[in-house]
Amino acid sequence: MLIRCPKCRYRFDEPVAEGITEVHSVCPLCGTPFVVAVGQPAAEAQQHVEDTPSAPAAEQNTDTPTDYEKTLADIHTKTIPNIRRRERSGLGCIIAIALFIILMLYLCSGSAERAQSSGDIDPTDFLLSSQHPTDTVPRWIEGSWIGISQGDTTTLSIYGYNIALTRSGTIHSGTHRIVGDKMTFHFQPDTELVCRLQPEKEQIILMLAEGKVKMIKTDHFHEQQQQKALAEAEHQARISSRRSAITKTTYTTPTQKKVKKKKTRRRRYNKYHRRR
C-alpha cells in the first residue's frame, strides 16, 4: 500500500495484510508516527496526526518502548538482510603490482635481446624512447648541409621543422623530430629516415641503406674544399721545386759528358772497394 506522510509529504510503500482496516506507520524520513485507515483520504490522516504526539515528544516523556514500536522494530529487523561485508586486504593489490612489474621486465629484456641480435638496430634506440622530443630546433641544425658518399652528393635543407633532402636528383620533403641525439625524418607516404646528431662536431650522420653519410654545413664544406685546393697547390709547387733542384746539369759538348761519366765510374769503383 502506498502511504504518504501527512507531515513531510514523503511517499513510501507499506505492506498491508488482508482484512486490516487501520495501518499504524512511522515516516522513515521525519519519524512522525501516524495512523491511516485503509481507503482513508489524506485529509483525515492529516487531522489524525495533529492528535498524535510526535516521535521526539514520546522520547522525552518515557524511555520504555511501546508495543507498537517493538512490533515495528521486529518488522524492520526481519526485512533487512544481514549483509556481511568482506574485509579488504592489500595482499591482492601487492600481488597484482608484482605481476605487472615482472611482465614489464620480461618485455624490456626481450626487446633488448632482439636489438642486440640485429645488426641494423642500435641498442640505444630503446633508451631514447624514455626521452621527450625537443620543443625547439637547435640553431646549429638549421641551414644547408652537404655530404658525399661513393661519388654521390646528398644535400639537406632544414628550416624549423621542415626539411628537404636531395639525393640522386630526387627531392624528398617532409618534417623531422628530435629525441636526444636521434633525429628522425618523416617523408610522405609513411617513409622515415633516421640520423644521428653530433653537436660537438656540428655534423649529422645519415643512416642510409648503402651506409653512413657524414653531412656538414655547406659553408664548412666550401671552406674545406678551398683548404684542400690550397694544400694540393702547395704540394705540387713543392714537388716541382724538388724536381728542379735534382735535375741533372746539361752539358753542351761531348767532352764534358765523357769527363762526367769517368768521374761517376771512379766514384762507384772507390765506393765498392771501400766496402770490401
Q: State how far the alpha carbon of 114 is from the alpha carbons of 106, 120, 125, 195, 229, in Å.
A: 12, 11, 12, 21, 47
Q: For residue 203, what is the domain's CATH number? A: 2.40.128.50
Q: Please write the tens of the pLDDT for every residue from 232-265.
A: 888 888 887 777 766 555 545 556 566 666 777 7
* 137-140: long-range contacts, CB 8 A cutoff, minimum separation 24: 137/161, 137/178, 138/178, 138/199, 140/199, 140/202
Q: State how far the alpha carbon of 109 is from the alpha carbons of 100, 104, 114, 200, 220, in Å.
A: 14, 9, 9, 32, 43
Report whether 206 contacts 200 (CB < 8 A).
Answer: no
- Looking at the structure, do residues 158 and 112 belong to the same domain, yes or no? no
User: Hey, how many other C-beta atoms are within 10 angstroms of the C-beta on 36?
Assistant: 23
Consecutive sets of 10 residues in the chain, 276 residues long: mean pLDDT of each?
A: 84 80 84 79 46 44 52 52 56 86 83 53 41 66 84 84 85 86 83 86 83 82 78 83 63 58 72 64
Q: Please write the tens of the pLDDT for every residue from 42-72.
A: 444 444 444 444 444 434 444 445 555 555 5
- Looking at the structure, do residues 11 and 38 belong to the same domain, yes or no? yes
Rounded distance between C-alpha atoms, residue 160 and residue 147, angstroms: 20
* Domain enclosing residue 204, as ranges: 133-220
pTM assigned to the model: 0.36
